[in-house]
Structure 1
Amino acid sequence: MRTTLTLDDDVAAKLKAESHRSGRSFRDVVNETLRHGLAGKRSTATRGPFKIKVRDLGELKPGISLDNVAELIEQIEGPLHR
């Protein structure tokens, strides 16, 4: 199928560079890149939910709490940590 497509300058330059590097036609490089990109989007949609494994961090030193991260950083690094 023939169609007209307007590419951003940086995208066109990358496609042309890949065409020269690989010795393949610009058309082949564009089609392969589009196929790869479209297949990648489909595969990410079929992934399962992200799960976090909870791990025990052990006992904290007395006076340190993980409930307030800003306070914890200040206790460890001092008031000028920023």
Structure 2
Amino acid sequence: MRTTLTLDEQLAKDLQEYAHQNRLSFKDAVNQALSLGLKVMEQPVQPAPYKLKPSSMGRLHSGNNLNKALDLADLLENEAIVAKLEMRK
């Protein structure tokens, strides 16, 4: 089949260089590139596995029951309010 392609200038140069280095005609270089490109495009892209990097949340304060998150949140909120009130004095 015969067709006309409009290639980006750099792509055309790269194809010409590839054809020259591999002793191919420009036509064969284009056909190889298109064939390989289609094969890659047909393969589904596998996303990289999700990785979570753990980080320290600080030292555990004794006396805090971490099983009761709402109690801990209340405690921390109360401590923050007290600290703000202390700064106003």
Length-normalised TM-score, structure 2: 0.54
Give the gaps of 5 or more residues in structure 1: 64-82
Q: Aligned pair in 2 of structure 1 residues 40, 60: CA closer, same or farther (>3 Å)?
A: same
Q: Report what 1:62 is aligned to.
A: 59
Q: Report what 2:75 is aligned to.
A: none
Identity %: 35
Q: Report what 2:8 is aligned to.
A: 8
Give the gaps of 5 or more residues in structure 2: 61-89
Length-normalised TM-score, structure 1: 0.58
Segments ≥4 residues shifted beyond 4 Å: 57-61
Highest Rg: 1 or 2?
2
Aligned residues: 60
Matches within 5 A, 1:2-81: 2-44=2-44, 47=46, 51-52=49-50, 57=54, 61-62=58-59
